[in-house]
Structure 1
Amino acid sequence: MKTLNLGILAHVDAGKTSLTERLLHSAGVIDELGSVDHGSTRTDTMALERQRGITIRSAVVSFAIAGVTVNLIDTPGHPDFIAEVERVLGVLDGAVLVVSAVEGVQAQTRVLARTLHRLRIPTLIFVNKVDRAGADPDRVLRQIADRLSPDVIALGRVEAAGTPVARWHPFPTGHPDHATRLVDLLTAHDDALLAAYVRDERAVTDARLRTALATQTARARVHPIHAGSAITGAGVDDLISAIAELLPTTAGDDHAPLSGAVFKVERGPAGEKIAYARIFAGRVRVRDRIRYRGDHEAKVTAIGVFDGGDAVPSDCVGAGRIARLHGLTDVRVGDALGTAPDRPGGQHHFSPPTLETVVEPMRATDRPALHAALAQLAEQDPLINLRQDDLRRELAVSLYGEVQKEVIQATLTDEYGVPVTFRETTTVCVERPVGVGTAVEWIGNDPNPFLGTVGLRIEPGPVDSGVEFRLGIELGSMPLAFLKAIEETVVETLRQGLRGWEVVDCVVTLTHGGYWARQSHAHGVFDKSMSSTAGDFRNLTPLVLMAALSRAGTRVHEPVHRFRLDLPADLLGTVLPVLATLDAVPGTATLRGGSYLLDGEVPAGRVHALEQRLPSLTRGEGTLESEFDHYRPVRGPAPTRPRWDHDPLHRKEYLLAVARRVTARSER
């Protein structure tokens, strides 16, 4: 049986989970529809999801249609949990983007649509809630074409929108207006179809148009639109038919070398790790030893494959399928199984979190349990960037927003029995070098106490390039283990710059390197005091790198969001001064009917304050969309963040701390 790994994506409250429930019911997987409001849906299994009525963790269910096994992945819609969507995108064959017929295209809808387009994931659009009061499918269709993509086409129309009897009617075969719209859309992407149409319009039959639509949808060039209601079931059967007909099924080779990707990790009843993985090629059997994350290897002790709703035990899983793998004890989200799959778009599809907070246990005795609990949460969501400050005995996590903070707090209390509080949320800045700096320390020369020579040059790199490490010495002039130690230490050290923020967009070049070869006394015993080790380079590199960085200098940059504000026309003069107090920079204001559409930029740390003030400023009529756009230099005094390790900028204290650690290790 063919397989289709399908993602359901939407802005929060567009009805995505309800649509998943309806699809399972229509496919015969469940006999009774669950309700988000009642906390009884199949995919919202966390107690917190049921309480809040939102999806927090992605969930996989399965059903069969027209000879195709559909592994359906329900993803969170709230922007605070965009990291869950990030991980799912890399394993999808196709997607259904859900848009509310009442609220229309919203901020998260635009972010998701752009990402699906960039990754060229075949996508159908479903306009949901046509039965709700205020539903206006025609308006939403115009918004989709205007704000998401012009390459869309509705495959039917809605009757009695905004009423409980709203229905979706597909355009019948031979419908002249619909055929004309199809020709206009499809010929824009298919020269052969255009030539055939120019030669003889009658040669382009409805069947040929339908075939061309399926082909271009599978190539993510066009996006068919359906509409209906997940609650009443209107239009869902036609959506199911479109999923089977228009979205591409996966093709994999069971006999090829193993290639897969882990997109979710959870804990079982006994605390064991369970990895959710998409198998792109090859086959995994129980008791197979598989390689992941470089040279890690473990034996698979059990496999679950999705069939008829839930995962069922299986002896093996083949290419194209999604499986639950047991036995991979130290697996992480994002790990490649076997050979890393070649997927478009790179590893990261969304902006990183731009906020952080310190988590404090309400009971001092809970500190070890808090660390263990946060470490497990970091397994499920690596982007929380768990950071431990050993000097101050503090734990910090990165956030996308305040709702994520509330969820972490509730999870720690309810699931781990560790009540916590949070310090005030702060903005995560970055540092960028402003010049070129060099430094070198020579082996055997004071003040270098380590058995190694390291010289480094740091200079600005392209924006969004991260950290690039280059060799300015011959590759064979030093053992690879020493070069690897220097490179890894450079990356780790740059997590804290001159003012404590991560240093990005720079090029670091190893300009000098030297070592003392392994030496022994006459009786043949290795003498560490006479021979260089990787530890010498790990301890020396931070001193050299931070000296070079000090000479280059850095500038602190803060994250900035681009916003789009829709507000009543008579309140523009009231809102503009408030934006100024929040350091926002308004752009153009466009008058549309009785409202203004205002765009601009606002610091990420002020977005929450703007969201809180907006209802009172706009009589509850204003709507705000915002998303990370770029980093800009901080205006005024540069903020600092305390370091969480021994500071190589203070040489004496650093050497004392490092020397004590080295002595302690040698005594053991």
Structure 2
Amino acid sequence: MRTLNLGILAHVDAGKTSLTERLLFHAGVIKTLGGVDTGDTQTDTLQLERDRGITIRSAVASFSARGTRINLLDTPGHPDFIAEVERVLGVLDGAVLVVSAVEGVQAQTRVLMRALARLKVPTVIFVNKIDRRGAGGGAALANLRDRLTTALVPMGTVSAPGTPLARFDPGAWHDRAFQASVLQALAERDDDLLAAFADDRAVEAGTLRERLARQTAHGLIFPVYFGSAITGAGIEELIDGITDFLPAPIPPKDGPVSATVFKVERNAAGEKLALLRVVSGALRVRDRIPIADSLAGPIAYKENRITDVEVFTEGRVRRSDVAQAGDIARVRGLSDIKVGDWIGDRATAPQRQFAPPMLEAAIVPDDKGDAPALWKALCQLSEQDPLINLRQGDGEDGLSISLYGEVQKEVIEHTLKVDYGLSVRFLDTSPIYVERILGVGNAIEHAPDPFLATIGLRVEAGENEGRHRLVFEVEPGAAPPFAFKAIDEALEAAFGQGIHGWQVINASVSITEITRLRKWTTSTPSDHRNLTPLVLAQALRIAGTEVCEPIDRITIDMPADALPRVQSLLMRLDAALEPPVASGEMMMLTGTIAAIKIHDIQRALPSLTSGLGTMETEFSGYRPVRGAAPVRRRSGPNPFSRSEYLAQLKGARQV
């Protein structure tokens, strides 16, 4: 049987969890329909998900249809939990993007569509809620074309939209008008079909279906279905479209073992459960497997032994001796595993599709005696979401985490209370700034006490994003391999805290000098690892850095009479605005603004626009901070103070 790993994605409240429930019910996996409002759906299992009616964590369910086993991955729609969506994207064979027929394309819909297009994930679009008042098939399709993409193939029409009797009427492949509409959509991306369209030649239905499946598989075009997850309208046709047009590739079962971890849970006993997709080969109980750390610089492997394997099938999790390529599995025994790690061989690390968290907040326990327990709890939560980026600084408010938004705060606070019995409070939220290198800095240390190593470094701005670029200006034989590896690892850690305490980005580092051969017998990896931050600190001081704040690009649609009010607010918030553009009775305003101000706009926009304004945001990079540079409380030894650094190293060794 083919296996299709299918993501259900949408803006919050578009109905994707209800759609997941309806698909499972239609397939006979569940006997009664649960509901988001009643809090008894199959995939929203957290109490907070049921209380708030939103999806917070991705969840897996499974059913079979037309000879295909479909593993459904229900994902969050709220932007505060976009990291959950990103992790799921890497394990998908295809996706259903859900859009409400009433609200239409919304901000998060466009963000998700861009990510699916970049990754070329085969996608069908399901226009949900056709039974709701205000829904319209033609208007919904026009909204998709205007706000999302023109590469659409409507697979039918809607009858009685906006009423409980609304239904989806699928196009008939023998109908010439339906064939013509499909041909016209496909011809733009297929020269053979374009020639047939230009010559007004008929194309066989079988050929059109095959070409539609091919273009969908390559992420070039998107079949569109209409229906209602509540009434069941259009569900059977959607399932047909999923199995007809989304590819279920046959994975290499005989290849080397490879799997990617997209979720980590803990059971009631505190044992880790890793949810993963097996990309190739097979995972078996009692296998000892290599785990690659997703956060390490050079790939670092650890070995763990699998103690239990479960696979998702027919709506339940079934214990198995083996998880084959293509399976979604839940595995026990991987004590070192984290979200984003992978097992065995993988050609490249996953590429980020969404912006990292832009906010940071200190978190403190109400009872100071709970500080050690809070640290332990947050360490476990960071296994489930590495982007929490837990930091331990100095002082009673030194514990901080990264955030996407205010709702995520509420979820973390609730989780700590319910799962760990910890009452906490957050201090003020602030942006996560970065430091950029301004000039060129050269520094060298010749075997200073107590380090038996010599290291010379030159730092300057680079074009690379993320991890630093390392250049060697010394012969490979100038030092043993462990010395180069230790320097590289130390640089990755040291760049996490620049002159002002923020991460240094876009850095290029050259090793200009290193321990000579005669030092091989006396130098150790720790000498190079511990000396590197001191040399880097000197070089950064010489080069200089500037602190930059994250900025978002905003697009606001609003009634024309609301434009002066919105412009006034944005100018007060120091936004850089472009000239507004008219679109019928609406106005569109674009520009950039500090990410920390987005929440202020979101709160004010409904009242300024009589509830008719919508805003989309997208990470747009960094800009220098105006005024005094903000300073971040440091964590760990401080190489910018030599005496303090050496004293902290000495204290750590004694401990």
Deviations 1:585-630 (A, max 9, x none): 2223122333212111111000001111222222333222212122
1:528 aligns to what?
Answer: none
Amino acid at match of 2:562: L
Output the amino acid matched with 2:64: A
Deviations 1:501-558 (A, max 9, x none): 1000110111110166465xxxxxxxxxxx2222222221111101101111111111
Give how far 1:429 is off.
Answer: 1.0
CA distance in 2, matches of 1:463, 1:340: 22
- 1:26/1:326 CA distance change after superposition, 3 Å: same
2:650 counterpart (640, 655, 659): 659
1:51-66 equivalence runs, <5 A: 51-66=51-66
Give, in whole Å, the separation in 2 of the partners of 1:213 and 1:369: 55
Q: Where does residue 507 of structure 1 map in the other structure? A: 508
> How many Å separate the matches in 2 of 1:359 and 1:439?
38
Which residue identity does 2:501 align to in structure 1? Answer: G
| Residues 1:621 and 2:620 are matched in the alignment | no
Contact map agreement 1:259 1:341 (CA 8 A) in 2? no
**Equivalent residue number for residue 561 of structure 2:** 570
Structure 1 residue 391, shift from structure 2 partner: 5.6
Distance between the aligned counterparts of 1:547 and 1:342, measured in 2? 34
- Please say if residues 363 and 397 of structure 2, whose CA atoms lie closer than 8 Å, have aligned partners that are also in contact: no
Per-residue CA deviation, residues 54-87 of structure 1 (Å, 9 max, x unaligned), is 0010000000000110000000000000000111
1:338 aligns with 2:338: no
Structure 1 counterpart of 2:263 = 264
Structure-2 residue corresponding to 1:226: 225
Q: CA deviation at 1:137?
A: 3.1
Opposite residue 376 of structure 2, the aligned amino acid is: A
Cα pair distance change 1:341/1:281, threshold 3 Å: farther
1:598 & 1:488 partners in 2: Cα distance? 45
Superposed displacement of residue 48, structure 1: 0.9
Give ranges in structure 2 of 5+ residues lacking alignment.
293-299
| Other-structure match for 2:207 | 208
User: Could you tell me which amino acid in structure 1 is paired with residue 220 of structure 2?
Assistant: R
Contact 1:255–1:282 (Cα < 8 Å) also in 2: yes
Distance 1:321 1:406 in 2: 34
1:562 CA drift (Å): 1.1
Matches within 5 A, 1:10-409: 10-195=10-195, 201-202=201-202, 204-293=203-292, 294-340=300-346, 346-390=350-394, 394-409=398-413
- The CA distance in 1 between the partners of 2:205 and 2:276, in whole Å, is 40
- C-alpha contact (below 8 Å) 1:391/1:644 kept by paired residues: no
Q: Structure 1, residues 382-409: CA drift from partner, whole Å, max 9, x if none?
A: 1111111156562111001100011100
Q: For residue 574 of structure 1, report the CA deviation from its aligned partner.
A: 1.8
Unaligned ranges ≥5, structure 1: 520-530
- Asked whether the equivalents of residues 479 and 520 of structure 2 are also in contact (C-alpha less than 8 Å), the reply is no
- SS at the partner of 2:444? strand
Name which of structure 1's ranges 571-580 and 237-246 shifts more when overlaid on structure 2: 571-580
For 2:231, the aligned partner's letter is T
Cα distance in structure 1, aligned partners of 2:588 and 2:393: 44
Please say if residues 394 and 634 of structure 2, whose CA atoms lie closer than 8 Å, have aligned partners that are also in contact: no
Aligned residues of 1:435 and 1:459 also touching (Cα < 8 A): yes
Partner Cα distance (2:310, 2:68) in 1: 18
| CA deviation after TM superposition for structure 1 residue 200, in Å | 7.4
CA distance in 2, matches of 1:468, 1:392: 36
| Equivalent residue letter for 1:495 | G
C-alpha distance in 2 between matches for 1:319 and 1:646: 45
The residue type equivalent to 2:389 in the other structure is N
State how many pairs are aligned.
Answer: 647
Whole-angstrom distance in 1 between the partners of 2:477 and 2:316: 54
What residue in structure 2 maps to residue 431 of structure 1?
A: 435
Aligned to 1:457: 458
8 Å CA contact 1:260–1:341 kept in 2: the answer is no
1:178 deviates by: 2.8
Aligned to 2:295: none
> 235-244 or 534-543: which moved more?
534-543
Cα distance per residue 1:18-75 (max 9 Å; x no partner): 0000000001100100000111000001111111110010000000000110000000
- State the partner residue of 1:526: none
Residues 389 and 645 in structure 1, CA contact (< 8 A), matched pair in contact too:
yes
Instruction: Give the Cα separation in 2 of the matches to 1:164 and 1:486.
Output: 67
Are the equivalent residues in 1 in contact too, given 2:184–2:197 (CA < 8 A)?
A: no
In 2 relative to 1, CA 633–175 (structure 1 residues): closer, same or farther, beyond 3 Å?
farther
Q: Secondary structure at 1:490's aligned position in 2?
A: helix
Contact 2:480 2:520 (8 Å CA) reproduced: no
- 1:637 corresponds to 2:638: no
Pair 1:311–1:141, CA change in 2 (3 A): same
Mapped contact 1:355–1:401 kept (Cα < 8 A): yes
Deviation string, structure 1 residues 91-111 (Cα, Å, up to 9, x no partner): 100000001111111111001
Q: 1:456 to 1:272 in 2, by over 3 A?
A: same
Residue 153 of structure 1 and its aligned partner are, at CA, apart by: 1.4
How far apart in 2 are the matches of 1:384 and 1:645? Answer: 18
Alignment partner of 1:641: what SS? Answer: coil
For 1:601 and 1:207, locate their aligned partners in 2 and report how far apart those are by CA, in whole Å. Answer: 49
Query: Hey, what does 2:296 align to over in structure 1?
Result: none
**Aligned partners of 2:603 and 2:538: how far apart in 1?**
44
For 2:245, give the aligned amino acid: L
In structure 1, what is the Cα distance between the partners aligned to 2:438 and 2:159? 61
Partner SS for 1:131: coil
Amino acid at match of 1:2: R
In structure 1, how many angstroms separate the alpha carbons of the residues matched to 2:211 and 2:315?
32
Deviations 1:236-295 (A, max 9, x none): 110001011110012112211111111111012211111111111111111111111143
Measure, in 2, the Cα distance between the counterparts of 1:463 and 1:661. 34
Tell me which amino acid in the other structure corresponds to 1:401.
G
| Residue aligned with 1:456, SS | strand
What amino acid sits opposite 2:332 in the alignment?
A: H
Other structure's SS at 2:550 match: strand
Aligned-partner SS, 2:570: helix
Using the alignment, how far apart are the partners of 1:288 and 1:645 within structure 2?
37
Q: Is the 8 A contact 1:107 1:625 kept in 2?
A: yes
After superposition, the Cα gap between the structure-2 partners of 1:3 and 1:174, relative to the gap in structure 1 and judged at 3 Å, is same
Identity of aligned residues (%): 51
Give the CA deviation at 1:466: 3.7
The code of the aligned residue for 2:183 comes to V
- Give the CA deviation at 1:335: 1.3
Greater shift in the superposed pair: 479-488 or 171-180: 171-180
Judged with a 3 Å threshold, the aligned counterparts in structure 2 of structure 1 residues 632 and 95 are, in CA distance, closer, same or farther, namely same
Distance in 1 between residues matched to 2:225 and 2:84, nearest whole Å:
26
Q: In the alignment, what sits opposite 2:488? A: 487
CA distance in 2 between partners of 1:368 and 1:398 (Å): 19
In the alignment, is the contact (CA less than 8 A) between 2:445 and 2:454 conserved in 1?
Answer: yes
Matched residue SS, 1:588:
coil
Q: Is the 8 A contact 2:556 2:616 kept in 1?
A: yes
